[in-house]
Amino acid sequence: MLQEFKNFIKNILFWCGVMAGLSLLFFLPLFAGRSPSVLVFEALKRDFLPPGVELVVTNPLTAFLAQVTVSLALAFIFSFPFMLWRAMRYLSPALFDKEKRAVAWVLIPSSALFFAGCAFAYLFIIPSTFALLYPFAASLGAIPFFQVGEFVQLIFAILLATGVLFLLPVGMALLSFLGLIEPGFWRRNWRYSLMLFLIFSAIITPDGTGITMIMLSVPLITLYGIGMFSAVRIEGRDIKK
């Protein structure tokens, strides 16, 4: 069992390493002599850097490490369905037939929700965060700069965290289907869940005004409701073959 777990981790790391390496080092005329990680960085700068804010490099390694961060984040995002599938294969020998069907059933919804969460963060959460925070620098008379590494890390931290949070309804339904948590648990504890959503949203969105926190909390509450409904619907049912 331990050896199988080691092989599972090695496969995941190998796949992510290959994807990151291609993103960092792959050059083609199609990309005008630039790697995909550089093109993605330029897109991030174009979409999120507020007017009048300059990106700065504080040491010789900063630009390179920023590209590595972009490459690793891209590898994780685009490898997510594969990693999920590998995790299911690793767990399948320990599951009953009913549980195997349940785990296989969540592959597509999980992937779709993860990408939807990343898209939501990219289109709404991250732009709002940058737009709302930088006017405070102008009000203080400070010169707005952004360190390249921090710029990339903040964007992908919000992106990945939001993608994972969007997996909430699948996790709720799966736990109830496997009999680990009864569906009534979600109904009884929705108030505590609401408070947790607000706390998590405040942690992963650095906007001190609370606007982006609310923007993230609303879809999470909606997803919780979907998960609660799904858990009730599948109570006592088997997934059809």
Return the pLDDT at 28.
45
Half-sphere exposure of 170 (CA within 13 A, CB side): 19
User: Per-residue pLDDT tens for 217-240?
Assistant: 899 999 999 999 988 887 655 444
Check residues 26 and 54 and name the one with the higher pLDDT: 54
Return the pLDDT at 222.
93
- Most confident stretch, 1-5, 11-15, 28-32, 167-171: 167-171
Q: How far apart are CA 231 and CA 184, in angstroms?
A: 9
pTM of the complete model: 0.81
Q: How far apart are CA 110 and CA 123, in angstroms?
A: 20
Whether pLDDT at 69 is above 80? yes
Amino acid present at 230: S
Return the pLDDT at 6.
63
Whether pLDDT at 30 is above 90? no
Check residues 131 and 197 and name the one with the higher pLDDT: 197
User: Per-residue pLDDT tens for 190-211?
Assistant: 899 989 888 888 887 766 667 7
Band (67; pLDDT cuts 50, 70, 90) = confident
* DSSP annotation string for 19-64: HHHHHHH---GGGTT--HHHHHHHHHHHHHSPTT-EEE--STTHHH
Q: Which helix (H) or strand (E) holds 146?
A: strand 145-147
Angstrom distances, CA of residue 134 to CA of 44, 51, 145, 148: 16, 10, 10, 16
Q: Is residue 15 within 8 Å of 82, Cβ to Cβ?
A: yes
**Mean pLDDT for the chain?**
80
- Of 113, 118, 195, nearest to 161 by C-alpha is 118
Q: How far apart are CA 95 and CA 230, in angstroms?
A: 22
- Most confident stretch, 12-16, 102-106, 129-133, 169-173: 169-173
- Min mean pLDDT across 42-51, 131-140, 168-177 is at 131-140
Check residues 123 and 88 and name the one with the higher pLDDT: 123
Residue 114: how many other CB atoms lie within 10 Å: 22
Whether pLDDT at 29 is above 50? no
